[in-house]
């Protein structure tokens, strides 16, 4: 039984829930912005912008703390049940996951000074498109939370495959690039980490989507098929396969 | 009695006539009581409408719902307590171990020994602690010697978790105990006649949180020894002590299922509105 939006007899409960939803929207917006800024800083080699992303991550951390405190307080005071309980647990977990998304953006920003503009490295050309999709997933997963929309959440989880495919593709080309250009291995390794960060952001958006789905439907999101795993590429095929 | 009738007639909305959901199967434990299409009328007023529920031995069953929803009325059908209300008329089928409890051949006194009851307010007899427990076994002839009776009193008080607190003052008056102790004394009194089912009608609503916790712990310990059915207004309590929960609304059984499902993901909007505090 999903939330139908009717009000609680105790109005203060609704006030708390609405405040929490507002804060989740804010932390989501800030994280999404952090990804966009970090990627712009990377493309333009803008050290100032990169430093800004690092500094602003503190706000995201602070928001996470406030969300956790209010969730704790609401659970303790209101003893929520059914979809209220599911939504509050989801809120609590989502705030942690979105904070991690902020950390990945910060990590990308921290690598900006050691990479001299992505245009120099061929394999990096795919990064902006990858980042756009990862950001979209973050935005849509939080939109799904705001709308309590399980279908949109499911769609986000399915679209994460695109980010994974990007990562696999970038992984391959960076490895090839490293073999061909051993002197750039350092920078290329940083690029690989950035791609990995974006891939993790996609996974985290999927985590958010899974919680939205659970909060809305009361059952876990169905498993999706995983695509090619980049680590398979490094392994020798075993006998019998 | 008056309270029941008042509650039943205070609801403004008409009794719903939709078909009651089917009784859930026992699944995990022997079936103790079954009810099928039970209707209760107080005069012209219908208080219970087509309720079908199975009570199993291994699960504590909780009845929840707003005031006047019929949960206490229905509970009282299970040991024919409604017989004491002249205008109450019960129809449908209620069985205990397959036996129709409303059959003319059913001995009601015997039935109430097999299906014991604990009430909202502790109601010990104005007698000694010992006599409170010994009363039932005496009238039902369960003990032939003083030793046997002593044994029943001790075992019942132990099962009710009260022995340690009263063993040295069994001759003190039952009414001199604290509220929580009195309620456990009443549970011990119900246990003393070796019942199969214990019905509890809001057993903790007059108790403080510590006494409530002791009763809840006791319910955990008694589970499996007796089939337990509890009516409670405290939803957290229903969630804590029961494995099956039935939600009543305006005399109808809206939803009956596994407690954890009812409280995390109810299937009916009415259940959800009630348990999340959106009712009314």
Quote the pLDDT of residue B204.
92
Instruction: Collect all residues of chain A within an 8 Å Cβ-Cβ radius of residue B240.
Output: none
**Alpha-carbon span A103 to B11, nearest angstrom:** 56
3-state class (DSSP) for residue A51 = helix
DSSP B128: B
pTM listed for this prediction: 0.80
Contact call for residues B120 and B205 (beta carbons, < 8 A): yes
* Longest Cα separation, chain B: 57
Chain B: closest CA distance from residue A130 (Å): 37
Tell if the CB–CB gap between A6 and B278 is shorter than 8 Å.
yes
Q: Is the pLDDT at B55 greater than 50, yes or no? A: yes
Mean pLDDT value across residues B69-74? 94
Nearest CA in chain A to B239: A81
Cα B122 to chain centroid, rounded: 14
Per DSSP, helices labelled H in chain A are 11-44, 47-78, 82-111, 127-147, 150-180, 185-217
Strand blocks (E) in B119-157? none
Annotate B142-164 with DSSP letters as a single string.
Answer: --SSHHHHHHHHHHHHHHTT-HH
- Which single residue is written with the structure tokens 């075993």? A238
**A/B interface, count of CB pairs below 8 Å:** 51
Q: Is the pLDDT at B152 greater than 70, yes or no? A: yes
In the CATH scheme, what is the code of domain B2-275? 3.40.50.300
pLDDT band at B29 (very low <50, low <70, confident <90, very high): confident
Chain A: closest CA distance from residue B75 (Å): 25
**Alpha-carbon span B152 to B143, nearest angstrom:** 8
3-state class (DSSP) for residue A112 = helix
Chain B: closest CA distance from residue A27 (Å): 27
Exposure string over A199-217, b if 16+ CB within 10 A, otherwise e? bbbbbbbbbbbbbbbbbbb
Query: pLDDT over 90 for what percent of chain B?
Result: 79
In the CATH scheme, what is the code of domain A11-234? 1.20.58.220
The token duo for A21 is 């939803």
Instruction: Collect all residues of chain A within an 8 Å Cβ-Cβ radius of residue B239.
Output: 81
**Alpha-carbon span B52 to A162, nearest angstrom:** 52
**Alpha-carbon span A49 to A60, nearest angstrom:** 17
Tell if the CB–CB gap between B272 and A79 is shorter than 8 Å.
no
Residue B267 has its nearest CB partner, among A1, A4, A81, at A1
Quote the pLDDT of residue B27.
56
3-state class (DSSP) for residue A42 = helix
| Residue pLDDT, tens place only, B200-247 | 999 998 888 888 998 999 999 999 899 999 999 999 999 999 999 999
Quote the pLDDT of residue A115.
84
Tell if the CB–CB gap between B239 and A84 is shorter than 8 Å.
no
Quote the pLDDT of residue B10.
38
Q: Is the pLDDT at B35 greater than 70, yes or no? A: yes
The token duo for A113 is 């000074």
Chain B: closest CA distance from residue A113 (Å): 49
**Alpha-carbon span A27 to A15, nearest angstrom:** 18
Domain extents for chain A?
Answer: 11-234
Domain extents for chain B?
Answer: 2-275
The token duo for A222 is 């169905």
- Which single residue is written with the structure tokens 């994974």? A164
Interface residues of chain B, partner chain A, Cβ below 8 Å: 235-236, 239, 263-269, 271-273, 275-280
Q: Is the pLDDT at B9 greater than 80, yes or no? A: no
Residue A8 has its nearest CB partner, among B265, B268, B277, at B277
Cα B100 to chain centroid, rounded: 19
Quote the pLDDT of residue B15.
35
Contact call for residues A194 and A127 (beta carbons, < 8 A): yes
The residue length of chain A stands at 241
Over chain A (241 residues), the average pLDDT of each successive run of 10 is 77 93 96 96 93 97 97 94 94 97 97 76 84 96 96 96 95 92 90 96 97 95 70 48 36
- Among A14, A81, A86, A215, the residue to mutate for chain B (most B Cβ within 10 A): A81
Cα B191 to chain centroid, rounded: 13
Tell if the CB–CB gap between B277 and A4 is shorter than 8 Å.
no
Nearest CA in chain A to B261: A82
Contact call for residues B202 and B122 (beta carbons, < 8 A): no
Instruction: Collect all residues of chain B within an 8 Å Cβ-Cβ radius of residue A7.
Output: 278
3-state class (DSSP) for residue B258 = strand
The token duo for B263 is 């409280």
Tell if the CB–CB gap between A10 and B272 is shorter than 8 Å.
no
Tell if the CB–CB gap between A83 and B276 is shorter than 8 Å.
yes
Q: Is the pLDDT at B16 greater than 50, yes or no? A: no
Contact call for residues A78 and A66 (beta carbons, < 8 A): no
Cα separations in angstroms, A133 against A97, A119, A136, A231, B43: 18, 20, 5, 22, 68
Chain A: closest CA distance from residue B259 (Å): 11
Cα B57 to chain centroid, rounded: 14
**Alpha-carbon span B150 to B129, nearest angstrom:** 12
Mean pLDDT value across residues B15-42? 70
């Amino acid at each position: 039984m999903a939330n139908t939006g009717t009000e609680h007899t105790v109005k203060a409960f609704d006030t708390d829930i609405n405040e929490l939803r507002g804060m989740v929207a804010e932390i989501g917006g800030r994280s999404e912005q952090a990804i966009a800024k970090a990627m712009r800083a990377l493309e333009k080699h803008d050290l100032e912008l990169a430093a800004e992303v690092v500094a602003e991550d503190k706000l995201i951390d602070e928001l996470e703390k406030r969300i956790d405190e209010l969730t704790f307080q609401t659970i303790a005071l209101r003893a929520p049940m059914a979809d209220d309980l599911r939504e509050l647990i989801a809120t609590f977990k989502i705030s942690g996951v979105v904070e991690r998304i902020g950390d990945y953006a910060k990590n990308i920003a921290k690598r900006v000074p050691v990479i001299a503009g992505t245009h120099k490295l061929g394999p990096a050309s795919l990064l902006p498109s990858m980042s756009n999709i990862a950001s979209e997933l973050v935005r849509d997963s939080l939109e799904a939370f705001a709308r309590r929309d399980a279908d949109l959440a499911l769609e986000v989880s399915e679209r994460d495959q695109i980010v994974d495919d990007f990562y696999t593709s970038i992984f391959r080309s960076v490895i090839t690039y490293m073999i061909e250009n051993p002197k750039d291995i350092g920078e290329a390794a940083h690029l690989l980490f950035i791609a990995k960060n974006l891939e993790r952001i996609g996974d985290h958006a999927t985590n958010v989507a899974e919680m939205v789905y659970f909060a809305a439907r009361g059952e876990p999101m169905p498993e999706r098929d995983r695509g090619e795993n980049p680590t398979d590429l490094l392994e020798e095929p075993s006998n019998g396969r | 009695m008056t309270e029941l009738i008042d509650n039943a007639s205070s609801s403004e909305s008409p009794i719903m006539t939709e078909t009651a959901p089917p009784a859930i199967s026992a699944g995990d434990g022997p079936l103790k009581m079954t009810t099928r299409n039970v209707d209760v009328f107080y005069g012209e007023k219908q208080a219970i409408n087509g309720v079908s529920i199975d009570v199993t031995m291994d699960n504590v069953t909780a009845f929840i719902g707003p005031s006047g929803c019929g949960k206490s009325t229905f509970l009282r059908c299970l040991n024919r307590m409604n017989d004491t209300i002249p205008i109450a008329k019960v129809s449908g089928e209620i069985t205990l171990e397959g036996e129709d409890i409303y059959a003319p051949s059913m001995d009601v006194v015997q039935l109430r020994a097999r299906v014991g009851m604990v009430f909202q307010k502790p109601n010990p007899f104005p007698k000694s602690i010992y006599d409170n427990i010994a009363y039932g076994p005496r009238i039902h002839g369960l003990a032939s010697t003083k030793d046997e009776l002593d044994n029943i009193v001790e075992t019942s008080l132990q099962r009710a978790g009260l022995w340690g607190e009263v063993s040295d003052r069994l001759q003190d008056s039952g009414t001199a105990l604290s509220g929580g102790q009195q309620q456990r004394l009443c549970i011990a009194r119900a246990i003393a006649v070796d019942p199969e089912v214990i019905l509890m009608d809001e057993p903790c609503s007059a108790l403080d949180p510590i006494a409530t916790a002791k009763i809840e712990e006791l319910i955990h310990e008694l589970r499996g020894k007796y089939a337990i059915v509890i009516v409670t207004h405290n939803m957290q309590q229903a969630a804590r002590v029961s494995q099956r929960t039935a939600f009543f609304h305006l005399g109808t059984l809206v939803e009956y299922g596994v407690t954890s499902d009812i409280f995390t993901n109810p299937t009916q909007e009415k259940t959800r509105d009630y348990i999340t505090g959106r009712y009314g």
